[in-house]
Amino acid sequence: MGLQTTIYITPRQRKGLFARARKRKTSFSEELRSAVDFYLDQPADLNPKELEMLAREVKTSAERSAAQLDAMTVRVNQTAQRLEQFQRKIDGLK
């Protein structure tokens, strides 16, 4: 069990932590502890602006990857349909 302490957070932070806790089926306190642990795991000289830029780049890359995967899923499904049609034609020749 941790130590009890009082902190002041903005309404946005409070709302966000409660929303995250509901989504992950955890408690507000657990989400807050997790956020603090994440923060403490970062180098003390970490530049927040650089981290924001990196996060944006990662998000953009993930979105691009997801779009490519979606396109490939469509292509695979189309190929599977063609193969099924071809298989039916072959079966009809027997």
Structure confidence by residue, pLDDT tens digits, 40-70: 998 888 888 988 999 999 999 999 999 999 9
Residues 37 and 72 in one domain: no
Which tokens hold the place of 77?
Answer: 């499904």
Answer whether residue 1 is part of any domain. no
Residues 90 and 54 in one domain: yes
Give the dihedral sign, CA 18/20/22/24. negative
**Which segment of 1-5, 26-30, 68-72 scores lowest on mean pLDDT?**
1-5
**The predicted structure's pLDDT at residue 44:** 86
Per the prediction, the chain carries an average pLDDT of: 94
Residues 53 and 66 in one domain: yes
- Are 29 and 9 within 8 A, CB to CB? no
- At 1, the pLDDT band (50, 70, 90 cuts) reads low
Give the range of the structural domain holding residue 57, as residue numbers without chain letter: 46-94
Least Cα distance to 51 among 69, 71, 59, 13 occurs for 59
Rounded to 5°, the CA angle 32-23-5 comes to 15
Residues 33 and 61 in one domain: no
Q: Has this prediction a pTM greater than 0.75?
A: no
